Structure 1
């Protein structure tokens, strides 16, 4: 189905788009308008918007640079598309978490802290220097003790040793330091300690040397050793390393042995004493950075100083935008690594609202993720403001409130995966409503309240919860029912549930966080499906199972079973190209001669989950793929790399795995993320099945269909940040609608009406 608008230069033209599952899509997208792309998960929305339009725009911009500059950039392959015309610069605002660099904060990521530093360098009393004197990322501004990190690490000696034992009895419990290892020798053979003496009997001097002696050369007879105390060694070997790069058992040890405390010199503010001593109206820069952004905006408004007037106007504008976008509850000193995907996307968005660029194509991925219905209206205003500045705004979204404000809607489908990739509707919202597409039919669909609410079989108690903005909260979460925890963004939902239930016996948390090692991993390896599949291939062909693993013997030797060759090109980082030896199939030619029911291992891994349900009619393989289909991932290919999955898909994959375990309490964080209105019903049916088979489901969720479907609601608020942190309602959805006057109650009342 081809769609054309009137005049050539006023629309972005796409011809013959075949990226991923797109089936030769032709479309014209009007410029300087707000276009929303809809369709079920896996229908091809992201392939068209991100994989084709945004990818080609960014590739063409890179090609305008000199060869020298290009050598510093990662090179992108041209998307699979016949032709594209009239592209403008694309800026992608996705939900990838912002870099987890521990030096990055909301203030540094938005330039708000940079502006604040300049204000302090001009107005602060006493004067301490230029703006870099207030930066915790420069030598002159950082606290010397913690080097601008704000934290110091303390090591607990009892996590390193068993004091009841001697060195010869394996007293050191640190990984890779058992009896006989080189590390153990440096303690047992230096002559400083009696290897048969129990550690609890050491003198104070011996204990001090054993743990804290700085690196020194020790001579024993003709041999000389480098000796350092155990805690000193642990800090050097383990703690100065990137936590993410550690092996899991080392990371578990480091988490056990090390506690992080605010730096005693700077109180966690990361800054030098000089910077902390300079004040404006009695307030220093660290106190400004720790304020809730909505309060900081009020403080900055109170500064009347002609010498920095233009700067103050910009800073106030930036802080107001953060408040307007629903992030007023954050503070500038909040580390960006702790933001959710939705929060990260909104922080990135604020950087562009103040930009003087126009005629840019802004591309959004579900900008309402993590937003309460109350906040969605404000997000809509921002999308419209970006459009009205003369920009093209493309939004991938499922929420009817956002679809309503679109100038144009592009609906993809009709199904997911191989059943999608076509344009089902193109036009305005009224036309979508009247169309017979899945999206059109569901636009006004409402979940109903339950006729009867399930009765709890007991309760999980949370007492005195005080993490982040929670105000000493006591709450009973019912067991054996579906509980929805709701409230505006920043009201304290995650703090309450993750902070107090994660880690309890029988509680499993399925969230949207990235999955480690996800370039090699895929749904087949991650769910354990590959084991029964390999065994079935081995049995059918009379060969060994290891041949059918792309991480083992059967792997193509050229690409080591990745199907891609990653080349480090000068400064460009890694460039991926399809392996010419196996043509991306990942296995040796010999392995591909073995078949199971007429398909080789590469063809089986290329299968979507829904096809695999029929292909494996019984046994463990059938059980695993059925669970993947149950959670709405029927369109995923078994061998699809996990790093191509969205946050919502990752969460549903984790849920499918946990459904096989003997756990009884499931905590889900916005399980509707990335789900089409039609798929939400399927998710609700799945949650019902989990509860009806004796489990407890606790969902942190803003989607009103899920609230309406709940047995019990815990509503937090009344606002965000220091205006939140309290339980403002607990009870059934019917009671919420009938009696409560919270933001959630008002919106849910309208929804079911």
Structure 2
């Protein structure tokens, strides 16, 4: 029997997991050393995230939440114990994932990294003439924001000529916007207001009456219909549209609303503040001849130099704190960004590195930090700086856990836990525990990856035709003209922020619309969207269940008759706490399955509709082998490296790379002639193990051999080495990039003296 002191020593040295069964984990037991950097490796879908995030992080955060008073706990997300026999030695845990920042229009790199408050304080102390206290320099505070644009930097206006058709009456659809169409709630409010004859064309309506209908704000009606709410005040069409769509970002928009908004709304830089978001007093306050808006618009790398020139002993501690924060942002490879950059425009990798900066320099110790592929979006040149920051966190007496594929990150680990051997049901077991050196000698898939030499494409496909990008000047591009070859695999490389995505996903797609761009942006549909709905296989699956059960297919839709009556098919219960964040808890009635008992009672191949949706794409292919409508799209999903995804997994939980590959699979499934394919892929191997990368490269080869044109924006050296043609952008990031450094074969890139990519290749 272990003594109390032995248990205490174990708790101080290890995080112990016994009998973990989260997702595909197969009753595994493992010990994770504390105060070390442990990297979880394995092929995509092997169970790395299930162990690090779904087990260790989830249980630690649940236990921390349980330590708060009941009043506070009731306002926190409620999670049950994880599916494991025992966890011990857990500490306060911080998860740093790749989820992009929310669509908050007031969030910038400065606010997200906690740098903006320091900058505002600096200007409030030594800016001349002073605008006042720190809030007077904030575009999120009434005392500092531009009164014209309310701190947004842009002015959105509604084009009345596009919104209304004055030759029509209300009943004929004079207000050309979906929520004001005849029969809608807003239409009925106008109808019952008593302001206007609904059968009279707007051109025949008295101007003052039409002005009230369009522009009234909180108008007390004098003669409304009895059906109009007695206590109701009337808001005109324009205020309603501004309040619902312009002053805030709606969580969901229908396709009709999105189309209508693009038609009636114009977006322009605010003429009063020129996009700076600040009022005249804040803009007039200067340090060394520059305003806070000027400082915020500089690349962080230049801002560091500007800050070093400030010699004010009265604010020395503030200068040191601000300098340290900017140095960290530069150190994680974000020196090309400016503090006023809109944070929702950052990629997942950029967003994660901004989050890292928030924790560096923290006074807390004995914290467990868990990172989800922090090297995503980083050029090999920048990975070593990331490793230095992770080492800083570890050396501050913290535990660092990293889910990673990048060989440099794996090699820098103190301890490795390799999962596999395969993905989904073929994974979930511990393949190796130990040092990187020992892992490289094993027969595991990751071991092979670490010791396998990378080969340069010795026989690139020749090309005879190409398309031209002419005089590209968007963002940091410096009048770039370049030719992109057809019917080959072209890889566009360069450091993060060099202009790769701007050139290929932006300019190539704009000048040559036949190219389809697959980026890492969000997918439409919210939490109800999943791989099955995106690929168009949800209906055939429901039809198969309907045939077995003898009932209508809508019974097998969580958005239709099959929805759980308690949670309305969401799987969670959402409690609105007014000014606090919503609380989400798993629905007890359906156990989170989203379906009602009638739907769950019908089975296909021994599985309910909820169980089918929880099954991986690879297994679904076997279950529905005879149904081509289901199998064909899923085979493409397997080919792009997403065979481990469950077909019912919400697209809101996917990484940027997974979203891009899912859309690629959808596009390939809908393409009859591969020779017509012209596609641009933004970092298609993000989140892929080297073995999975080789698999998707074989798919690219198959498509190109059939006549397709593929352009991949990549940092992955395996992909660059495999290319037929490479276009390297740089030489640096931001204003130091934006030029073509090299064009040609991968072998030639290796010899290019000006290319950072060539040096690492």
Alpha-carbon separation, structure 1, partners of 2:586 and 2:196: 53
How big is each residue's C-alpha offset from its partner over 1:449-506, in whole Å with a ceiling of 9 and x where there is no partner?
A: 3343334464333223222212222222222221111110111112222322446643
How big is each residue's C-alpha offset from its partner over 1:225-251, in whole Å with a ceiling of 9 and x where there is no partner?
A: 999886566435543342443323112
Alpha-carbon separation, structure 2, partners of 1:490 and 1:102: 22
TM-score by length of 2: 0.89
Q: Which residue of structure 2 lines up, in the alignment, with residue 420 of structure 1?
A: 427
Alpha-carbon separation, structure 1, partners of 2:754 and 2:502: 23
Please provide the CA RMSD for this pair: 3.3
Q: Which residue of structure 1 lines up, in the alignment, with residue 380 of structure 2?
A: 373
Tell me, yes or no, if structure 1 residue 508 matches structure 2 residue 511.
no
Map 1:229-244 to 2 at 5 A.
234-236=241-243, 238-244=245-251
TM-score by length of 1: 0.90
Structure 1 residues 149 and 444, CA gap change in structure 2 (3 angstroms): same
Tell me, yes or no, if structure 1 residue 35 matches structure 2 residue 38.
yes
Q: Which residue of structure 1 lines up, in the alignment, with residue 132 of structure 2?
A: 129
Q: How far off is 1:716 after superposition?
A: 1.0
Q: How far off is 1:196 after superposition?
A: 8.5
Q: How far off is 1:684 after superposition?
A: 0.3
Tell me, yes or no, if structure 1 residue 106 matches structure 2 residue 113.
no
Q: How many residues align?
A: 740
Contact 1:190 / 1:220 at 8 angstroms: preserved in 2?
Answer: no
Map 1:622-641 to 2 at 5 A.
622-641=631-650
Q: Which residue of structure 2 lines up, in the alignment, with residue 159 of structure 1?
A: 162
Alpha-carbon separation, structure 1, partners of 2:89 and 2:44: 28
Larger CA deviation: 590-599 vs 115-124: 590-599
**SS, match of residue 430 in structure 1:** helix
Contact 2:347 / 2:520 at 8 angstroms: preserved in 1?
Answer: no
Q: 1:400 aligns with which of 395, 407, 422?
A: 407
Tell me, yes or no, if structure 1 residue 548 matches structure 2 residue 565.
no
Q: Which residue of structure 1 lines up, in the alignment, with residue 3 of structure 2?
A: none
Q: 1:445 aligns with which of 427, 452, 474?
A: 452
Q: How far off is 1:598 after superposition?
A: 4.8
Larger CA deviation: 704-713 vs 381-390: 381-390
Q: Which residue of structure 2 lines up, in the alignment, with residue 251 of structure 1?
A: 258
Q: Which residue of structure 2 lines up, in the alignment, with residue 96 of structure 1?
A: 99
Q: How far off is 1:691 after superposition?
A: 2.1
Alpha-carbon separation, structure 1, partners of 2:10 and 2:600: 51
Contact 2:39 / 2:413 at 8 angstroms: preserved in 1?
Answer: yes
Alpha-carbon separation, structure 2, partners of 1:568 and 1:156: 35
Q: How far off is 1:671 after superposition?
A: 0.9
Contact 1:484 / 1:712 at 8 angstroms: preserved in 2?
Answer: yes
How big is each residue's C-alpha offset from its partner over 1:10-37, in whole Å with a ceiling of 9 and x where there is no partner?
A: 1222222221111222222111111111
Tell me, yes or no, if structure 1 residue 704 matches structure 2 residue 711.
no
Q: How far off is 1:8 after superposition?
A: 4.9
Q: Which residue of structure 2 lines up, in the alignment, with residue 118 of structure 1?
A: 121
Contact 1:168 / 1:196 at 8 angstroms: preserved in 2?
Answer: no
Larger CA deviation: 96-105 vs 554-563: 554-563
Alpha-carbon separation, structure 2, partners of 1:63 and 1:169: 58
Contact 1:569 / 1:575 at 8 angstroms: preserved in 2?
Answer: no
**SS, match of residue 434 in structure 1:** coil
**SS, match of residue 316 in structure 1:** helix
**SS, match of residue 329 in structure 1:** coil
**SS, match of residue 80 in structure 1:** coil
Q: Which residue of structure 2 lines up, in the alignment, with residue 734 of structure 1?
A: 747
Q: 2:308 aligns with which of 301, 304, 308?
A: 301
Q: How far off is 1:139 after superposition?
A: 1.5
Alpha-carbon separation, structure 2, partners of 1:86 and 1:623: 47
**SS, match of residue 99 in structure 1:** coil
Structure 1 residues 215 and 132, CA gap change in structure 2 (3 angstroms): closer
Tell me, yes or no, if structure 1 residue 682 matches structure 2 residue 688.
no
**SS, match of residue 144 in structure 1:** coil
Structure 1 residues 396 and 208, CA gap change in structure 2 (3 angstroms): same
Q: Which residue of structure 2 lines up, in the alignment, with residue 52 of structure 1?
A: 55
Q: How far off is 1:255 after superposition?
A: 2.3
**SS, match of residue 245 in structure 1:** coil
Structure 1 residues 601 and 461, CA gap change in structure 2 (3 angstroms): same
Tell me, yes or no, if structure 1 residue 436 matches structure 2 residue 443.
yes
How big is each residue's C-alpha offset from its partner over 1:537-588, in whole Å with a ceiling of 9 and x where there is no partner?
A: 33345443223323222334344444555556896733323534x4555444
Structure 1 residues 601 and 121, CA gap change in structure 2 (3 angstroms): closer
Larger CA deviation: 605-614 vs 454-463: 454-463
Alpha-carbon separation, structure 1, partners of 2:476 and 2:726: 20
Alpha-carbon separation, structure 1, partners of 2:269 and 2:669: 41
Contact 1:5 / 1:30 at 8 angstroms: preserved in 2?
Answer: no
Q: Which residue of structure 2 lines up, in the alignment, with residue 660 of structure 1?
A: 669
Q: 1:646 aligns with which of 650, 655, 658?
A: 655
**SS, match of residue 259 in structure 1:** strand
Q: Which residue of structure 2 lines up, in the alignment, with residue 20 of structure 1?
A: 23
Q: Which residue of structure 2 lines up, in the alignment, with residue 139 of structure 1?
A: 142
Alpha-carbon separation, structure 1, partners of 2:127 and 2:488: 56
Larger CA deviation: 356-365 vs 294-303: 356-365
Larger CA deviation: 437-446 vs 557-566: 557-566
Q: How far off is 1:717 after superposition?
A: 0.8
Q: Which residue of structure 1 lines up, in the alignment, with residue 588 of structure 2?
A: 579
Alpha-carbon separation, structure 2, partners of 1:733 and 1:34: 34
Tell me, yes or no, if structure 1 residue 390 matches structure 2 residue 397.
yes
Q: How far off is 1:415 after superposition?
A: 1.1
Q: How far off is 1:666 after superposition?
A: 1.8
Structure 1 residues 228 and 514, CA gap change in structure 2 (3 angstroms): closer
**SS, match of residue 519 in structure 1:** helix
Tell me, yes or no, if structure 1 residue 672 matches structure 2 residue 685.
yes
Q: How far off is 1:302 after superposition?
A: 0.9
Gaps spanning 5+ residues in structure 2: where? Answer: 1-6
Tell me, yes or no, if structure 1 residue 73 matches structure 2 residue 76.
yes
